[in-house]
Amino acid sequence: MGNLRSILSKDFNNILWKDKITSLFKLSFDLDKLHNIGFCHRDFHSGNILQIYHKDLRVNTSYISDFGLSGPLNKQKSDGKICGVLPYVAPEVLNKEPYTTSSDIYSFGVIMTELSSGKPPFHKRKHDAILALEICNGLRPEFGKGTPEIYKKLAYRCMDAIPDQRPTANELFDILQVWYLSCTNNEEEIKAIFEEADKEIPNISTTYEKNPDAVYTSRLFTFSNLPKPINSPIITSYLNEEENKDCQDSQLLDLEVPSSSQSRGI
């Protein structure tokens, strides 16, 4: 048992892509349940994701934890202060906009980058006003070598600068369910994509030097005069490609998926 961040730092090279997809699938289910009751988490990051090993099932299961900052969408602080871990905070929240369910989805996208690289987002950088400015200008964490394109596209959708363009937790659940079932039930095309990515895992170094001012515990901060959030050219290219995707890329959204109400026996 431990949090996702600590497990990635210790055991990243032994975690296959099917395991990453399984974790994200479970997390999307939990996040959807939270959003369905009108709450958002407001402090969603890898330190707040518990990994618990179930001996009877011989599997690790991911759970969202630490709901201390969670609350109803209709109850927001008005003092302009933000509490969280800077790299996971949505750019609109940095800009003093209210937390929404879409803000949690942004954090989900950042967690996706961390699962692919094995490193905390922006570990080389000071977590300060300059980083907040660059996030608003479209800077996003890097992916690990060999990360599948369909995975990058979904993560970039989650990290879209425009909150309304991000998928909902329910949409994430449906997409990740397709990937999860494909990886576990031998659906060849999607399974092959992630198995090919597995070949790069041993080549990804998880050693890194953390900037002493990179802070991965929740804290209060305020920023002034940040610009309106925009997407970087690379994100825009991925999002435009997604809008004009061909039949192969339609695996993200256009595959028929089981009804959510019938398939959530997780």
Element (H, E) at 20: helix 17-36
Q: DSSP characters for 237-258?
A: HHHHHHHT--TTGGGTTTS---
Residues that are catalytic: 43
CA distances from 96 to 4, 85, 191, 198, 255 (A): 28, 15, 41, 40, 37
First to last CA, the chain: 19
- How long a stretch of residues is the chain? 266
Token duo for residue 49? 């994701």
149-158 and 188-198 are packed helices; what angle lies between their axes, rounded to 10 degrees?
90
Q: What share of the chain is helix, strand, coil (3-state, %, to 5)?
A: 45, 10, 45
